[in-house]
Structure 1
């Protein structure tokens, strides 16, 4: 565990320290696209944050290769090299897209090629342990198609959810944390060494996201761009593929295949675990494809119908919308993790139901904003105070003389945002160059 923590910390430190210089490089290189109709931010913000994340990945793999126990992963498996090859290819395509806006079909093709590169080097699904059936061996073509499909879906799911400051990095970090705990338990409790690469990939992915988040939380000073979102999506998919198709349950327990797979609940959970850790991004991806196809648009056409856009339309603030997405991602990922530990416990089901009810209340919170009594208005934020308006007589009649404090704050926010877009001088943190 100490070596995993050391690898995580080194990856996070390198990513964090490089993000600042990368931001300056992105500004000089002109990787600051104009504000688009679907964007939530109001000022041009540099991209290319994926550069720092990629070098954090390289640093994590380099450190792990020189550690006593983790070095065995590089000796016994070619998966770290396969991951690095695929990550380098997808990262280069992402950097070019952040600067020159590459066509969507070209990016899709590059994602397939990156997945194929990893398959050629051994990072592929060889068999699937299916409950009540047993271990199903896959042919080379079946394993290749399934691996490529999983990589492409995961990359695009993470890319689609990257719409608010800190959203994609936080959601993927939560997913990586849950998957690390799951993979480490498989390796440590069951002694399955084939789970070690997945644990290493998940630890490095956590470090990449944690190192980038301080620069990306609202208001973000830099975006990860496609160079970052596609990169972390590929690493997340590689973790799932590594543990799903490389562990043979028949070699661990005696008896029939059906009984063997039934005993190995933590092994066949990977069939569902990759879907649960990206449940929110995957749902957003499916809804976007259905919505755009129904309108007669291309599935890759951008719009403002994503889940995070809907949260903003309901009335949630930017920060609250991100936290709600964090909450549901953690609920699904760690709920599946708890189920893999003890599938027979009813308390796990009741806990998930209870937390889901809390999440529903959080979703509907803007529609049920409470108002404090007048005697307590001095102790609560302005948004919980009752509207007060004084009237002043004018030539045209009675008009409000004192506006509501909520309206004052909203006008200030709008004024600051407009001045930032028009290039005028603004006051506060939004006046910083991005």
Structure 2
């Protein structure tokens, strides 16, 4: 998967058939870090084979974790012989700084070994993503840290984790995950208030409990953790990726295609389906599958008083920020107008200039808000050459390109590969024509 690879996308795509979402990226990053909490074997299935997950697994292998790839999407991990000296190497710094998920090795390493090193982590360029929530939460558990500015690394250590009452300063998924993993082996009781409660966090807590942890309050913003001395091996299966599910709904709507999304865990999708329905998109729930029928026109609803719909992202169970760019693209061909308000990240809307070049009617009000005036299919988007700035914007541009008139070329598709497993192959199986061009 070269960083210089591109997608050549044929427009006017008419897709049909069934597709199964990959395992959840954000959950996989959390539960893979959790294997560091025990010396026993942990088996994880439905792991997405994507760049960020593969890089995290390679990072753990460098630390000494024995990893066996049982099949494409199932791994076993045994963190029996951890090499803490690896934390001081340039290779560790390089690998850990390349992925945002590496931040979640802090909690497990502190819980088992009393020390951790973390370079300033990478990830999407979607605005400031502070480390304060992680570090302040760990401080409450008796962790000391310092930042070595010349090397851009955090050094953390503890003489022993101690339970405490922690009021999280923001609802951070990865911050909550880090503190939760550390607290699971701290002395005494920890209460984490203002905790994130995403399904992925619930899954992490269930996995930890199956390893011997004592966590209550799952699914709420108040987690109570009774620390234990040791955790054990377990088996775990990741949820289907809700962001892929939302992406496929948007793809079906934009291309007027009939698509069935299989085994979607509808019970864990929160506000996602009702929000797409407010855009006039028909959804048929068939057991645990979602069928999106072919639809020529979909109409955005107004608020009850007749004012223009305002859709914004918020912590779970609100609408997830990773799907805001998908909604924005879907709105470009809807009947009606909508204000898209991306509250949680400040640079997520900076891809709309590409959509405007394709013919969309969008007013970028500021870094957080964009007004979309739907074209109602009266004017088709046109194919252009463009670059993917991050994972979610990249897939949004891919969806726009598949619906457009003519061909498009999308550069920097390694961003898409970071979050979507073999997306070109899987969509081509539905009737798309996406060529991967290696340069």
Q: Same fold (TM over 0.5)?
A: no
With the length of structure 1 as denominator, give the TM-score of the two structures.
0.26
Question: Which has more helix, going by share of residues?
Answer: 1
TM-score (norm 2): 0.26
Give the number of the structure whose residues are more often strand, by fraction.
2
